[in-house]
Structure 1
């Protein structure tokens, strides 16, 4: 693991301050990360369910954290693809959490998956796969 939980939290606060709106980093390991998002009325869509964009943002930032755990603090690593399947309705007003895991990391790309859970439910509410572009060494 190239970065600690505290180092990554500090980095995200300094380099990605808007990221706090997309959840908080809870745990970090080599190639994985866990995040949590409190859910309030601003995260709900008509019908009383957590909005897709809320779950997508949490999945994206969780994968960014997982990737940085492996490659170090590289601010210019960016999402090139995000595919998400919504599996079941989350509990309204219950926090959601994401567990991201890297599947493969090369010199220029990282691929991983994220399961999103609604607190109080055992089964995932969404599953996402993401690809990140990793900038060349000279741009890090």
Structure 2
């Protein structure tokens, strides 16, 4: 399988289509069916007590799967989440970005299924795991 979009194209797509959240994320690594996406943690991502909020981590997982799908199928803005679940396993490390390691498990004509492990930057144990399904628009 080959990539249909590279890092620069995905970054430009996010900036054009999702300017409200694009600055929150950075692509650390891209390969066929895989992406590592970084949430650049700032004050707005924190919940009381100073830890990264669940909605911020869910957004990271959702964007990681979305970008992994687009990297494989090309710029189709109407690919949408149809299912998502997340398990929060431990408190993220204070003051560190969250890195999502995403892999697509299935990329079909209509659906894509992916798995995401999220880590505090530089920490070996994951803080959360997410599973997402995306609907791919007809071509």
Question: Cα distance 1:111–1:125, how it changes in 2: closer, same or farther (>3 A)?
Answer: same
Mapping for residues 1-140 of structure 1, pairs under 5 Å: 1-137=3-139
| Structure 1 unpaired stretches of 5+ | none
| Structure 2 unpaired stretches of 5+ | none
Question: CA offsets per residue over residues 36-56 of structure 1, 9 Å max, x none?
Answer: 112222211123211100100
1:21 CA drift (Å): 4.7
How many equivalent residue pairs?
A: 137
Q: TM-score, normalised by structure 1?
A: 0.91
Contact 1:32/1:67 (8 A) holds in 2? no
Contact 2:24/2:40 (8 A) holds in 1? no
Contact 2:35/2:102 (8 A) holds in 1? yes
Matched residues in 1 for 2:122 and 2:32: separation?
Answer: 27
Matched residues in 1 for 2:28 and 2:11: separation?
Answer: 9
Matched residues in 2 for 1:102 and 1:126: separation?
Answer: 17
